[in-house]
Amino acid sequence: MIHLSPSLLAADTTHLAAAVQAAERGGANSLHIDIMDGHYVANYAFSPKTLSDLRRVTTLPLHAHLEVENPDAVLPLFAAAQLIIVQEDTTPDLAATLATIRQLGCAAGVAVNRSRLLEPLLPHLAAVDLLLVMAVEPGFGGQLFDASCLDKVRWLHQRRVAGDLNFAIGVDGGIQPATLAEAVAAGADFFAVGSAAFAGDPAAAVRALRAAAG
Ligand code: DX5
Ligand code: ZN
């Protein structure tokens, strides 16, 4: 069973409640909320208020994906999230960051960019709920899927089996039905999906994505 997390970056923010409720009807497992600060990425998106507003209109778990410089300075602002995802290259002490996220009562995720290596993350795999492989450069939706990210997915899958670990293996960026199927075959089981979830009817789109997983 895959986990589908529609990414609100692609939704019509003038009708956010309707968009998330349609995604929920279609069987979404959570909502992926990109937080962008104009520094770590050259774009802006969402804020802690988005989470508290959404909490009133959906019961889906809220995932905050922090694409910001110095996430340690703002983690408590996102305590309302069920899962906080940090970019591994934004924190000087990843173990401490993960511990802070847990102290806030949230599950912990780590995202890794295309140019980064996975080996340094090996000591942290037992402490994460989600390892999110970026298949695009963070900052914008609608980019093309970089299939080389599948090597990272395979590597993580091998480590998870060998280490008897439980973290989810996620992919964020460029996920469409066809790329989702490729990533599932490589061992991924969690997907943040922006444009493919919100381009048309989100309920139908989420169903189509789930069907693509086979
Ligand atoms: C990119 C974000 C993604 C984005 C994905 O920085 O982290 O979550 O919304 O959008 P698509 O699915 O359109 O590539
Ligand atoms: Zn994201």
* Atom of ligand 1 minimally distant from the CA of 175: 12
- Is 172 a catalytic site residue? yes
Strands 31-37 and 130-134: unpaired
Ligand index nearest the alpha carbon of residue 40: 1
| Confidence (pLDDT) at 120 | 97
> Per residue in 34-71, pLDDT tens?
999 999 999 999 999 999 999 999 999 999 999 999 99
| Confidence (pLDDT) at 41 | 98
The residue ranges of the chain whose pLDDT is under 70 are none
Global pTM reads 0.98
Ligand 2 center to residue 18 CA distance, Å? 20
CA neighbor of 143 nearest in space, from 114, 182, 186, 181:
114
Candidate list 151, 172, 189, 201, residue with the active-site label = 172
Residue-range domains of the chain with CATH = 3-212 (3.20.20.70)
Lookup: tokens for 33? 């909320």
Ligand 1 pocket by C-beta < 6 Å: which residues?
Answer: 7, 9-10, 32, 34, 65, 67, 136, 138-139, 141-143, 172-175, 192-196
3-state SS, the chain, equals CCEEEEEHHHCCHHHHHHHHHHHHHCCCCCEEEEEEECCCCCCEECCHHHHHHHHCCCCCCEEEEEECCCHHHCHHHHCCCCEEEEEHHHCCCHHHHHHHHHHCCCEEEEEECCCCCCHHHHHHHHHCCEEEEECCCCCCCCCCCCCCHHHHHHHHHHHHHHHCCCCEEEEECCCCHHHHHHHHHHCCCEEEECHHHHCCCHHHHHHHHHHHCC
* Atom of ligand 1 minimally distant from the CA of 111: 7
Ligand index nearest the alpha carbon of residue 8: 1
| Confidence (pLDDT) at 194 | 98
- Is 34 a catalytic site residue? yes
Ligand index nearest the alpha carbon of residue 65: 2
First to last CA, the chain: 10
| Confidence (pLDDT) at 132 | 99
- What distance in Å separates the CA atoms of residue 155 and residue 9, rounded to the nearest whole number? 28
Residues 6 or more apart in contact with residue 16 via CB below 8 angstroms: 8, 53, 54, 57
Pocket test for ligand 1, best of 5, 7, 130 (most atoms within 8 A of CB): 7
